Amino acid sequence: MGLQRPVLRAVVPAFVLAGVAVAAWAVWLGWDQGYDVRADGSVSGPYQPWQVAGLAVTLLAAVCCAAARGNSAAAVGGTTAGLTLAAYVDWSGDASGLFMVGVVLVMVGSFVASAVASAVVSAATDTLRRDRPLTPR
């Protein structure tokens, strides 16, 4: 019984963050599958910059909250796993197989971004806790 609690405290936040990442992908990017054709014939899309920025801000908030609570590893692992899974599922219909390049780029980018954000928030949180005077109750 003693081992189950630490394992649950490590695993549950990671699954929650993975779920948040998948849900955020669905909300911000999952519904937009069409490409835009400009007047000059060039094609862009399927995502608009504001959609990607919305996803990034949403996940940044989730990662920062988890890191501030001491769950940096879960924030990094869960976010990376969730985004990688969402990208794979969303893009796997590409018959050329090149979608895997994008999936790997999402995996690496989300790992680096969430690791940096977690490290910054963890360091700031540790500094604030260390500098706060203890007050008797």
Q: What is the CA radius of gyration of the chain?
A: 19
Residue at 137 is within a domain: no
What is the distance between the alpha carbons of residues 134 and 9, in angstroms, rounded to a whole number? Answer: 26
Burial 65-79 (b: 16+ CB within 10 A, else e): ebbbeebbebbbbbb
- Read off the tokens for 78: 């869960």
Residue at 19 is within a domain: yes
Q: Are 61 and 121 in contact (CB under 8 A)?
A: no
Give residue 107's pLDDT. 98
Q: What is the dihedral of CA 53, 57, 62, 65, to 10 degrees?
A: 160
Q: Tell me the pLDDT of the chain (137 aa) as tens digits.
A: 555 777 777 789 999 999 999 999 999 998 877 777 778 878 777 888 999 999 999 999 999 999 999 999 999 999 999 999 999 999 988 888 889 999 999 999 999 999 999 999 999 988 877 766 666 65
Give residue 127's pLDDT. 80
Predicted structure pTM score:
0.83
Give residue 134's pLDDT. 60
Residue at 76 is within a domain: yes
Residue at 136 is within a domain: no
Residue at 85 is within a domain: yes
Residue at 34 is within a domain: yes
Residue at 118 is within a domain: yes
Please give the tally of structural domains in the chain. Answer: 1
Give residue 93's pLDDT. 85
Give residue 71's pLDDT. 92
Domain of residue 100, residue span: 4-131
Residue at 96 is within a domain: yes
